[in-house]
Chains A and B, each alone.
Chain A
C-alpha cells in the first residue's frame, strides 16, 4: 500500500518536472502553441481552397485530422527528456534515490497527457474561431476527446522508446520527425485518400493514422463511423501494449551499464 502511494506521488513529482520544461524552453513552447496554430491557418486558408472534401467544409475536415497529428507528437517531450537525462547522468541520480524506478517513465508519459489536454484546448479554440463546428452528441464529443488522449498516451510510449534508443536529444528529434512525421501525412488527415494516386491509396487506407482520424471525424462531426472507432481503439491499445513494455525493457538495458 505504501509502495503504491509512493509510486503515485513519485510519478506526479516527475510529471510536474517534465511539464515545467515546456514553458522554459522557447522552442518547445513555440512547438506547442504557435506552430499548431500556424499549421491550422496555413491548411485552411492556403491549401484548403484547392482541396475538395465532398460533403464537408475543409475546416471541419481538417481539424480532427490535424489534432490527431499534433497529439501524436505531443509526447515528443518525453523522447527529448529521456535522451537528455541519459546523456547528462540525471538518470543515475534518480536511480540512486529510494523512489519508484518506473516513475521515470510513468511520470513522463503522465506529463504528456497534461500537454495533450493543453494541445486540445489550443487546437479546438483556434478551430472554433475559424468556423469549425461539432455536429455530434455531447457523449460522442467526450468519447472523441478520450480517444484522442489515449492516442496521445500511446505515442508517448513510442517516444519514450525513441528517446531511450537515441544517443542524444538531437538524434531523437531527427528520428521522430524524419520517420513518423511523413507517415502521418500519408493518411486521411489532410486530404481525402481517394485523391491520392492509386498505388498509394491502399497504404493510406490501412495507415493506423487514417483509422484514428476517421474515428475522430465520426465522433466530432456525426458522420458514420463504420468500424473506424473500434479499429482506432484497437490500434491505440495495441501500440500501448507493445511500446510500454518495450520502453521498460529498453530502459533496463540502457541503465544496466
Chain B
C-alpha cells in the first residue's frame, strides 16, 4: 500500500438533476503529500470530497481512498479517513473534550484511548484551557481547530479538509495553516479544497484546478505559475528613455521577449537564481543606470484568471446552493 496512491479517481461523475457537479474527474494523490483542489464556489470541490468520504455515491466512475473503493468498501474507507468541513461540525452542546472523546469512541478506539487521545489533541491544538467549556462559547477559530482535531482522532492516513479556513480571520487562518503543515510533516496525506489561492500555494505539493466539474489544470504550484509565464524581473531605469537599449541588452537572459510597460522594463525569466546579478551586470556593461530592480512572482490568481477566464472568488454560488 506504500506506493499505491492515497486517493485515485477515474472519470468521476455526479449530477443533481440538471446541475452537473462533476463531469468526469481524474485525480491522483501520492501518499504523504498535500493535494489542493482549487476552484470557485460551485466548481464541484465539495461534491468530490463528499464522494471520497463516502457521504455521497457517484453516478459514474470510480474512486479509491487508502486503497479501498469508496462504494464497495465504504466501511473500510471510513476507518482510514478524517474529515474536517467548512461548517466546523462539532456539537455545540458538548465541551471540546466531550466532542473529541465521543469521536474516539465512534472510531472504536480501544479502552481508555478516546480519553487520552482527546486530551492529547486538545493540548496540541492549544485548546486545553477551553477543554471543559461548551463549544457554543468557542470563537470561530477555536471551533475550526476543534473540528480539525476531531478529524485527527484516529490518526487517519488520509485527511480531507473541505475549505478549512473559509470564514476565518487572517490570524486564525494562519494558525490553522501552521497546524496543517505540522500534520503533513507527520506523513498524513491531505486532500484540501479551497478557493483561497494563497492557501493552495502555501500548503499544497500539487494542485488540481477545478471549474464547472472538470479538472482544467494540474501540477505543482510552480508548474501552474509557469503556465502564466513564470517569474519576471521588473527594472526601473534612472533614465526611462534608454528602455529600448535595455530590452536589447537583456534579451539573451530572458525566457521571452522583454518589453516596456509603465516606464519599467519587464523581463520574463525561466530561472530566478542568478538572473538579477546577470541583469545588473549586462546593464552596467551597456552603461545603463538602474533605479530599482525587483522580481515579481505570478500568483495563483493570475493562473486562475488565465485558465478559466474569470476570477476565482465569484459566481457559481447559486449553482452549489441549488445542488445541495
CB within 8 Å of B: which residues of A?
A: 6, 9-10, 13-14, 17, 20-21, 24-25, 88-90, 92-99, 255-257
Q: Does B299 sit within 8 A of A, measured CB to CB?
A: no
Partner of A6, one of B54, B91, B108: B108
The answer to whether A92 touches B89, judged by C-beta atoms less than 8 angstroms apart, is yes
Cross-chain contact A94 with B55 (CB below 8 angstroms): no
Chain A residues within an 8 Å CB radius of B83: 92-93, 96
List residues of chain A with CB within 8 A of the CB of B103.
93, 97
Can you add 13 more A-B contacts, CB < 8 Å, to A13-B105, A92-B50, A92-B53? A17-B98, A20-B98, A21-B93, A25-B93, A88-B92, A89-B87, A93-B90, A93-B103, A96-B83, A98-B107, A98-B108, A256-B56, A257-B324
Is B106 positioned at the interface, with any CB of A under 8 Å from its CB? yes
Q: Answer whether residue B94 sits at the interface, using C-beta atoms and an 8 A cutoff.
A: yes
CB neighbours (8 Å) of B81 from chain A are 96
Given A24-B134, A95-B55, A257-B16, decide whether A17 and B78 contact each other with a Cβ distance below 8 A. Answer: no
Among B16, B50, B89, B106, point to the contact of A99 (Cβ < 8 A).
Answer: B106
Q: Determine if A88 and B87 form an interchain contact, defined as CB atoms under 8 angstroms apart.
A: yes
User: Which residues of chain B are near A25, meaning CB under 8 Å?
Assistant: 93
Q: How many positions in chain B have a CB within 8 Å of any CB in the partner chain?
A: 32
Give the distance to chain A from B93, nearest Cβ to Cβ, in Å.
Answer: 5
For the complex of A and B, the 5 pairs showing the least CB-CB separation, nearest first, are A89-B87, A93-B89, A99-B106, A98-B78, A96-B83
Contact of B150 with A by CB under 8 A = yes
Identify which of A89, A90, A97, A257 contacts B78 (C-beta below 8 A). A97
Q: Nearest B residue to A94 by beta-carbon distance?
A: B106
- B57 at interface, CB cutoff 8 A: yes
Report the bound CA distance from A63 to B105 in whole Å.
40
Say yes or no: B54 contacts A95, CB within 8 Å: yes
Given contacts A13-B106, A97-B103, contact A255 B55 (CB under 8 A): yes
| A-B pairs with beta carbons under 8 Å apart, 20 shown | A13-B106, A17-B91, A20-B94, A20-B98, A21-B93, A24-B134, A88-B92, A90-B89, A93-B85, A96-B53, A96-B55, A96-B78, A96-B81, A98-B78, A98-B79, A98-B107, A98-B108, A99-B108, A256-B56, A257-B324
The interface bits of chain B over 62-105 (1 if a CB of A lies within 8 angstroms of the residue's CB, else 0) are 00000000000001001101110101111111100010001101
Docked Cα-Cα span, A97 to B100, in Å, equals 13
Complex Cα distance, B135 from A88, in Å, reads: 13
In whole Å, how far is B117's beta carbon from the nearest beta carbon of chain A?
Answer: 14
With a CB–CB cut-off of 8 A, which chain B residues contact A21? 93
**Bound form: Cα–Cα A21–B53 in Å:** 28
Q: Say whether, besides A10-B106, A98-B107, A20 and B93 are in contact (CB < 8 Å).
A: yes
